Amino acid sequence: MAASLEPAAWRAFEAAAPDLAAEGRTLLQREGRDGGFLVTVRGDAAPRIHPVSVGIVNGGLYVFVLPSAKRTDLEQDGRFAFHAHLDPNVPGEFSIRGRASLVEDRATRDTVAAAWPFEPDDTYALFELGILTAVVGRRASADDWPPAYETWSAARA
């Protein structure tokens, strides 16, 4: 059996594909807040889709999660997909797939919380989103279709 691939932290993705990471960051932040849709899975259950805020802090991509099905999914399985919010007037897509890991280090949690747009109390768990693949879709205008996709993979890094 082949060893499983380790997901990359945002900093590793950024170092390996700086232009793609810069474009991804711009698409994450285009509404003045970092966010999108987090898809979680667990076993054979159907995927769950959740709107969330994410943040890039000190080279990591993070999400705070309240007690919920999505948190249980991340704790028990870890697999996720994330798609940044779309703006029909400013085309461009950014999505990633990977594995989330629970952050238990208090100093890291405090650093991330200090950069967060709201104050996460101790009911929130902090997860780092490790990246296995990242995709940017580009269109010159909202009427252009299909997008031109560029993909980065931790397997090829």
pLDDT averages per 10-residue partition of the chain, 157 residues: 75 97 90 84 88 95 95 95 86 94 97 94 97 94 88 89
SS3 at position 156: helix
pLDDT of the residue at 2:
43
Q: In whole angstroms, what is the distance from residue 136 CA to residue 33 CA?
A: 19
Q: In whole angstroms, what is the distance from residue 105 CA to residue 123 CA?
A: 15
pTM given for the model: 0.92
Q: In whole angstroms, what is the distance from residue 97 CA to residue 135 CA?
A: 9
Residue 68 DSSP class: S
Phi, psi of 64 (to 5 degrees): -95, 140
| Peptide bond connecting 146 to the previous residue in cis, omega within 30 degrees of 0 | yes
Rg of the Cα atoms in the chain: 15
Q: In whole angstroms, what is the distance from residue 56 CA to residue 76 CA?
A: 24
| The CATH classification of domain 10-156, taken from the options 2.30.110.10, 2.40.30.30, 2.30.40.10, 3.40.50.1380 | 2.30.110.10
